[in-house]
Structure 1
Amino acid sequence: MSTSDKPAFHIPSDPWISLRAHTDARIALGRVGAGLPTNASLDFKLAHAHARDAIYSTLDNAALTTALETLGLSVLSLQSQVQTRQEYLQRPDLGRRLNAASRKKIETLLPGTADVSIVFADGLSAEAVNLHAVHVLAQLLPALAAAGLSTAPVVLADQARVAIADDIGSLLKAELSLIFIGERPGLTSPHSLGAYLTYHPKPGLTDESRNCISNIRPEGLVYADAAQKIFYLVAESLRRKLSGVMLKGEGGLLAGEK
């Protein structure tokens, strides 16, 4: 049989490939025998390295302070009871409360009350806060001001967990706490920002007392939409005097979707 008479070798098309344009998920990667192609394997290792780096990233306090002061906000830099990053990962409880020096710093402020206490915390991806938090807050502040809501000094909290906002909000005598914090990094989203709000914050509250808006980043929930959702929840929380499982994020739903 001549070469021209041999049947053409046919590589079947992969129906999943077209879906890759719509998701960052690892689909239709191909295979070489029982394993992944080299490029896919290397991409996975790089993503894993980015996720590990995110966990050990730190807040850029200087840049954040400058950006927040440009928005007309005063800033406090505080610290949880955690001493090292290793301790932070092993002792979540210590990341939920301020250390003694930070508590004293708040107590030396002039007494007063505010509607909203705002916290920027490193969480498990400080780089997410460095990249996104100021942009979201810049779009949120005009809505808060238009609603007549006052804000306490913005706190930059190092080595902090979500519940540290309860400690801070209580000391600042705020009606509601709002914390922007780096979420647990994923292999396609190492810089994802989360926002949690709690009505009448105080130490000892648990997760059912909070509302969460997650996946804030240009590739996920974009800044404008995040600010809109946060403002809706803040306004409803203060109006209804509750938060958490009793408060649904119904803003933007069509009639009949509730």
Structure 2
Amino acid sequence: MNSENHPKIQTESGLLKKDQLNDYTFARVNLPTSGFAIRLSEVLAFRADHAAARDAIFTPFEIQKIKDNIQPVCKDTIETSSQATSKEVYLKRPDLGKLLDEPSKTKLKECTSKQKDVAIIISNGLSAAAVNENAAQFLNHFIPQLLEGNISITPIIFASNARVALSDEIGALLETKLSIILVGERPGLSSPDSMSAYFTYAPEVGLTDESRNCISNIRIKGLPPIQASEKLFYLVNASLTKKISGVHLKDDMGLLE
């Protein structure tokens, strides 16, 4: 980090001092010691954060709560699931998380709201705690931006135990120009509640990561949901205008306020 480019961390020498690092990161740096060992309070805090990260993986996906919270902006929803029938299967078989089960395929094929601009998918992913906490606030700001910009959307799709690539199959079945998935990230020791937003232009089965864009660390202590929604709206507009995504789409929005 270059302190010259960040007005909040200017120092006389232009460099951060060791004891200032903790003011600018949640990472475990500059830990206090007792003799030659890390202080017991820090060891216990590490164990507590590790437990929180493990709990986030197995937290129930609160679909109804999210539905209730986004009703002011979108009442139409569809519940789907990947072929990973449980969290245990999801963790052991990532390939099954990339495929819709047959009942879900039928639902989407029969959906009457197709050929819209954007499909929005929500999945518990590796941290249901992340989407439970952040998805509604994100969408309550993001969906009105889309509608005001004359960007049409399908019903909100809830996809249990989905990997990111599942959004391509959903977008293809709904015949949308672009698919977006909000998904719980792999929990970190300081961020068990971190959500990501991935999107793909012209979604189809078989696309790989270079075709997608990602906004990560969406959470109150990271990139707040409202700011993240503004960033995604800017990128979605650019993607729809230029008809590209992934490595070909560059983020030139600049810094968020």
Q: CA deviation at 1:64?
A: 1.2
Aligned partners of 1:96 and 1:160 also within 8 Å: yes
Output the amino acid matched with 1:150.
S
Is the alpha carbon distance of 1:112 and 1:25 closer, same or farther for their aligned partners in structure 2, counting shifts above 3 Å?
A: closer
In structure 2, how many angstroms separate the alpha carbons of the residues matched to 1:172 and 1:24? 40
State the secondary structure of the residue aligned to 1:43: helix
Aligned partners of 1:68 and 1:75 also within 8 Å: no
Deviations 1:31-71 (CA, angstroms, capped at 9, x unpaired): 12332111000000000000111111221011112122232
Deviations 1:158-217 (CA, angstroms, capped at 9, x unpaired): 011001111111111111001100011100001001000000111111000000000111
Gaps of 5+ in 1: 1-14
2:45 corresponds in structure 1 to 43
Aligned partners of 2:113 and 2:155 also within 8 Å: no
- Alignment of 1:103 onto 2:105: yes
In structure 2, how many angstroms separate the alpha carbons of the residues matched to 1:44 and 1:155? 36
State the secondary structure of the residue aligned to 2:217: strand
2:214 corresponds in structure 1 to 212
TM-score by length of 1: 0.89
State the secondary structure of the residue aligned to 1:104: helix
Gaps of 5+ in 2: 1-16
Q: CA deviation at 1:140?
A: 1.2
Pairing partner for 1:164 from 154, 159, 166? 166
In structure 2, how many angstroms separate the alpha carbons of the residues matched to 1:102 and 1:188? 35
- Share of identical aligned residues, percent? 43
Output the amino acid matched with 1:145.
L
Q: CA deviation at 1:156?
A: 0.8
2:247 corresponds in structure 1 to 245
Runs of 4+ in 1 over 3 A off after TM superposition: none
Aligned partners of 1:29 and 1:40 also within 8 Å: yes
Aligned partners of 2:211 and 2:245 also within 8 Å: yes
TM alignment of 1:185-200, pairs within 5 A: 185-200=187-202
Aligned partners of 1:69 and 1:75 also within 8 Å: no
Q: CA deviation at 1:19?
A: 2.6
Aligned partners of 2:113 and 2:154 also within 8 Å: no
State the secondary structure of the residue aligned to 1:174: coil
Aligned residues: CA RMSD:
1.5
Q: CA deviation at 1:149?
A: 0.5
Is the alpha carbon distance of 1:84 and 1:223 closer, same or farther for their aligned partners in structure 2, counting shifts above 3 Å?
A: closer
In structure 2, how many angstroms separate the alpha carbons of the residues matched to 1:86 and 1:166? 23
The count of residues paired between Structure 1 and Structure 2 equals 240
Q: CA deviation at 1:252?
A: 2.8
Q: CA deviation at 1:253?
A: 5.8
State the secondary structure of the residue aligned to 2:114: coil
